[in-house]
Amino acid sequence: MLPHYFTVKKQGEHEIIIQKSRFIAHISRAETEEEAQQFIQDIKKKHWNASHNCSAYLIGEHNQIQKANDDGEPSGTAGVPMLEVLKKRDLRDTVVVVTRYFGGIKLGAGGLIRAYGKSTTEGLNAVGVVERKLMTVMHVKADYSWLGKLENELRSSVYQLKEIHYSDQVELEAFVEDAELENFSEWIIDMTNGQAAILAGEKLYLEMDVPPR
């Protein structure tokens, strides 16, 4: 598992108009090539009457699978520019389909490259990109008398509170980076005078929004 990587936040679409042609970027997360291909086919079925449904995707921890398809546009003017945008943004497990409805004005090779690149870029900005960081879920169990202090301190700290469970004792779960595990444990021990039980749990990805660029 990668310690961190970037991918799209959610599935969505974004439309722009260039020289009377409609360019609709459809974007989704896809963790397998089968998922990417299914997404492409779904868009093609939805926009069966479009002039082109060009696509690109990157799959795998190290982007082992990279595909680009011009779908009838001149070779290298659609799929590859779209793929280059994904690579420039350092994305993983992402598929993009740009649907074009021809508006009657030819753009030329350079114009097409810019149009498909711009459509992909603006689509990514509209849908959103996240950084997924691999974290350890730390479990902190203590008597209820510590709940207020533990919750307040966690919420105002660099650590992100995941959940609170209420049973015979209160249990708080927090996302902690591996490099911070020892510091986190010492912090909790000091805060509770050693009266809290601390246990490392499973590893999960925590998603954080990345500003558009």
Position 1 scores a pLDDT of 85
pLDDT at 87: 97
The pLDDT of residue 152 is: 96
Using alpha carbons only, how large is the chain's radius of gyration in Å? 23
pLDDT tens track, the chain, 213 positions = 899 999 999 999 999 999 999 999 999 999 999 999 999 999 999 999 999 999 999 999 999 999 999 999 999 999 999 999 999 999 999 999 999 999 999 999 999 999 999 999 999 999 999 999 999 999 999 999 999 999 999 999 999 999 999 999 999 999 999 999 999 999 999 999 999 999 999 999 999 999 887
CA dihedral 131, 128, 72, 113 (to 10 degrees): -90
* pLDDT given for residue 213 in this prediction: 72
- CATH node for 4-127: 3.30.230.30
Per the document, the length of the chain is 213
pTM value is 0.87
What is the model's pLDDT at position 26? 98
pLDDT value of position 195? 96
> What is the CATH code for 131-210?
3.30.70.240
Domains of the chain: which residue ranges?
4-127, 131-210
Exposure of 136 by Cβ count < 10 A (0-12 exposed, 13-18 middle, 19+ buried)? middle
Helix, strand, coil abundance in the chain, percent, nearest 5: 35, 40, 25
